[in-house]
Structure formats: C-alpha cells, structure tokens
C-alpha cells in the first residue's frame, strides 16, 4: 500500500477541525488496484480502472472548499480539500459514493489535495492523461 498524506494550509486545518478533518484523518492510499480516500468521516473507494482521467488543478476559493467534504451542485462532484493551491481532480467512468453514507448521491469526479500531486498521479499508473 502506498499512502499519500494531504497538504494542509493553516487556514484549511483550522476549518477542518470541527468536522474531524486533520492530518491523521485525511489521506489517500493506493493498494494494488484500489484507491481509498479518507477525509475525516468521509470515504471514497474505487478500483483504479474506474479512473478515466486525472489532472492537477488548483486555485480554489476558501469559502467553497474549506472544512467538510463539499458537494458541487453543478456536477455532483465531491471535493476533499486541505488547501486551495494544488489538487488532483479524478474523473470516473462510473460514479462513486463518498459524501452520502447511504450511497444515494454518486459523484462523477472527486478533487483531493495530496501533498505531492505528481507522485500521486504517477502511482495511479496506467495511461491516464496528465495535465496541469
């Protein structure tokens, strides 16, 4: 298993604490052909072959991304952000569950903030397009 810690800015760390999001509870792991993301009480799990695309992104507004997991009302994507500067956006072939413990809401994409986005992309492997 390869584990990727999340990169926390000071402001995002403070905003995440009331929701149980901190450096011990926010990370991503690649284990064989599976991706697991932990973000405080929220979880996302999928097979690596379900990842259609992975790109480096960033420049997020604090108010829209800090604190708990965020659901985009525009496209149902989920955001697990611990900083606003650099993240990885994953697009899925088949939507995944994450924000809703009942599994009623599914997400066609997820954004997360590993401390080393380039190494995270490399560990995903395969022929995923990489853009920044």
Going from the first residue of the chain to its last (132 residues), give the mean pLDDT of each consecutive group of 10, the final group possibly shorter: 97 98 98 97 97 96 96 95 97 97 94 97 72 40
Tell me the HSE value of 50 on the side-chain side, using a 13 A CA sphere.
17
Length reported for the chain: 132
Tell me what pLDDT residue 125 has: 84
Q: Fill in the DSSP letter of residue 78.
A: E
Tell me what pLDDT residue 101 has: 83
Which pTM was predicted? 0.91
């Amino acid at each position: 298993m390869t584990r990727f810690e999340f990169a926390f800015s000071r402001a995002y760390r403070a905003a995440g604490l009331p929701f149980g999001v901190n450096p011990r509870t926010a990370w991503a792991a690649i284990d064989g052909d599976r991706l697991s993301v932990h973000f405080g009480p929220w979880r996302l799990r999928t097979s690596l072959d379900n990842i259609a695309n992975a790109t480096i992104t960033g420049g997020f507004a604090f108010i829209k991304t800090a604190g708990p997991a965020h659901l985009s009302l525009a496209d149902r994507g989920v955001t697990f952000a611990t900083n606003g500067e650099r993240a990885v956006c994953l697009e899925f072939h088949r939507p995944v569950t994450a924000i809703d413990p009942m599994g009623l809401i599914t997400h066609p994409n997820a954004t997360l903030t590993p401390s080393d986005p380039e190494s995270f992309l490399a560990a995903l492997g395969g022929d995923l397009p990489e853009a920044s």
